Amino acid sequence: MTYCFQCQRVPFRPVTILLVIPNSRGEKMPKTIEHVHWPDAPDVWMPYAPAIKVKGGTTVYLAGVTAAPVYHHHPHRPEEFDQMPRDMEGQARAALENLKRGLSAVGANFADIVTADRFVTDLSDQDALNRVWAEYFGSAKPTTTTVQVVRLATDPRCLVEINAIAVIDV
């Protein structure tokens, strides 16, 4: 059975996240992340925002992560990737856990992500990815681009790779 997020009817509620951060003089400056929807947008649930407006904060670029260990040998050693899950749900969860560790390293969380690119080897697995995505992002809806690719660079068994840009407090 295919799970369709677009079939869920949840009213749009504009979201503005207000965080207070100090400027260079130590004064507090607000960082805002505003999810922007079109004025005539239909009443459907989406796992992303069509646009995001950010004011303040520091931009952090997070490298692409897969279900593979982030720290591995180069050139690659295939045996280092033998413990990866084999299905999209497991790989999405492992990739998002790797992304979570990167976010944590810079003092951020999933709510701080403003945009993400998702590279998948089979678009028919996108619903499984979206289910796991919703668990990690909750009400945070970064802009996203999802692209099907022939193969991911880390290992031919990788099914998904995710990179992101976050805005954090200074």
pLDDT digits (tens, 9 = 90+) for 54-107: 888 889 999 999 999 999 988 889 999 999 999 999 999 999 999 999 999 999
Structure-block tokens of residue 10 = 């949840």
Dihedral class, residue 26 (left if φ above 0, else alpha if ψ from -120 to 50, else beta): left
Domain count, the chain: 1
Comparing C-alpha atoms, which of 30, 33, 12, 32 is closest to residue 21?
Answer: 30
- Are 17 and 112 contacting, i.e. CB atoms less than 8 angstroms apart? no
* pLDDT tens for each residue of 141-153: 999 999 999 999 9
Choice among 38-52, 101-115, 126-140 with the minimum mean pLDDT: 38-52
* 44 vs 16, more confident: 44
pLDDT at 24: 61
Does the CA dihedral 23-28-33-38 come out positive or negative?
Answer: negative
Has residue 15 got a pLDDT over 80?
Answer: no
* 169 vs 68, more confident: 68
Q: Which domain holds residue 83?
A: 5-168
Q: C-alpha distances in angstroms, 75 versus 89, 113, 133? A: 27, 30, 30
pLDDT at 9: 36
- How large is the average pLDDT for residues 133-148? 95
CATH of the domain at 10: 3.30.1330.40
Has residue 18 got a pLDDT over 70?
Answer: no
- Are 96 and 87 contacting, i.e. CB atoms less than 8 angstroms apart? no
Q: Mean of the per-residue pLDDT values for the chain? A: 85
- Are 110 and 100 contacting, i.e. CB atoms less than 8 angstroms apart? yes
- How large is the average pLDDT for residues 128-149? 96
Helix, strand or coil, per DSSP, at residue 128 = helix
